[in-house]
Amino acid sequence: MRWNGQRLDVDDGALPGLERSGVLRSVRTPEFDGVTFHEVLCKSALNKVPEESALPFRYTVNAFRGCSHACRYCFARPSHEYLELDAGADFDSQVVVKLNIAAVLRKELRRASWRREAVALGTNTDPYQRAEGRYRLMPGIIGALAESRTPFSILTKGTLLRRDLPLLRGAAESVPVSIGISLAVFDEELQKQLEPGTPSPRARLDLVRAVADAGFDCHVMVAPVIPFLTDSVDHLDALFGALSAAGAAGVTAFPMHLRGSTKGWFLGWLAREHPALVRRYRELYGRGAYVPPEYRRMLAERIAPLRTRHGFDHASGHRDAAPAEQVAAAPPIRRSPEPTLF
Ligand code: SF4
């Protein structure tokens, strides 16, 4: 394997050095066509968020590396390069699975020094991507967090979350639990192109309804908004309306950013599928990873009346409910005097 001997703990400290623990095995099965699972034993589970971060959580837990949801814009793609895997097709198809993560987490949460700070799940890979159906790591993780009275949040595109709603309801009786669903592409054809491994928009709307019916405030990340593809008033209006009807408690939206190797992966796809947009993207992203302030302003102004129309005004400050992969994708607050979320 190409990454034998690599220091897998380079970026999040949660993976073993393979030279010490080793990949237990690499698995391909007919049910997961084209995906290889690399099963490993991790040495730590909690990843500390840097002190200077403005994110509303201090720790993250990621049971997987890589994500078969395969979103073209995924900001986590470059993290796969630490494994000497590529940030494109390998990120989608070479998924590292931390088999022992629940046991390791439970041990870490029992330490006397643990302060029960908020833990976010879904910050770097989706905890309910298809692999979770095979490995069932989340029930153990949820159980460990609840037993230790640690507040936590989950962000996902995966409808498999529904399986764990009873467990999450039970956990919420003893600790604060926030659930967020990511749904930003309401056009099904476009969703299949942009997020080819994800459940359909309709399935995720049903999930929003199921989460709300289970008694949770379901926050929805309408993010990232993809310039000239999902940022029209018509698209956003239809999506906000559907989310409101499905019982979403709040929405957060912000434009796509393209950092590191994600940029080349996304723009390669754009050139193949939407060549007419390439020039406009050069204007938007030609000088960096973030859209210019004028675009951010335009989008904020476009979204504000839609929030009002669909009854989401009250949720504008509802950030804690959506500590999310895409929250991490917002540009650092230092870079712009404008709010990073709206
Ligand atoms: S954006 Fe989220 S769901 Fe999509 S590939 Fe990345 S981690 Fe997976």
Identify whether 118 is part of a domain: yes
Contact yes or no for 226/194 (Cβ under 8 A): yes
Identify whether 13 is part of a domain: no
What number is the average pLDDT over the span 195-204?
Answer: 98
Range of the domain at 277: 18-329
Identify whether 7 is part of a domain: no
Residue 166 pLDDT greater than 80, yes or no: yes
Residue 337 pLDDT greater than 50, yes or no: no
What domain count does the chain have? 1
Least confident of 251-260, 269-278, 333-342: 333-342
For ligand 1, the distance from its centroid to the CA atom of residue 69, given in whole angstroms, is 6
Q: Which residues line the pocket of ligand 1, CB cutoff 6 A?
A: 67, 69-71, 74, 76, 125-126, 157, 325
Whole-angstrom CA distances from 80 to 9, 37, 55, 267 are 12, 14, 22, 19
At 263 the pLDDT is 97
Q: Which of 61, 62, 69, 93 to mutate to test the pocket of ligand 1 (most atoms within 8 A of CB)?
A: 69
Identify whether 95 is part of a domain: yes
At 293 the pLDDT is 96
Digit-coded pLDDT (tens) for 284-303: 999 899 999 999 999 999 99
Digit-coded pLDDT (tens) for 28-52: 999 999 999 999 999 999 999 988 8
Name the E strands within 102-233.
119-121, 152-156, 177-182, 218-225
- Report the distance separating Cα 8 and Cα 53, nearest Å: 23
Identify whether 287 is part of a domain: yes
What number is the average pLDDT over the span 83-100?
Answer: 95
At 22 the pLDDT is 63
At 55 the pLDDT is 85
What number is the average pLDDT over the span 191-198?
Answer: 98
Residue 280 pLDDT greater than 90, yes or no: yes
Closest CA to 15 of 39, 44, 36, 37: 44
Residue 146 pLDDT greater than 50, yes or no: yes
At 51 the pLDDT is 84
Contact yes or no for 92/121 (Cβ under 8 A): no
Residue 218 pLDDT greater than 60, yes or no: yes
Identify whether 71 is part of a domain: yes
* Average pLDDT across the chain, whole number: 87
At 127 the pLDDT is 98
pLDDT above 70: percentage of residues in the chain: 85
- Sheet (strand 177-182) strand order: 47-48, 59-61, 119-121, 152-156, 177-182, 218-225, 250-255
For residue 60, the domain's CATH number is: 3.20.20.70
For ligand 1, the distance from its centroid to the CA atom of residue 133, given in whole angstroms, is 16
Identify whether 340 is part of a domain: no
Q: Are strands 36-40 and 23-27 parallel, antiparallel or unpaired?
A: antiparallel
Ligand 1 atom, smallest distance to 198 CA: 3
Identify whether 31 is part of a domain: yes
Digit-coded pLDDT (tens) for 11-27: 344 444 444 446 889 99
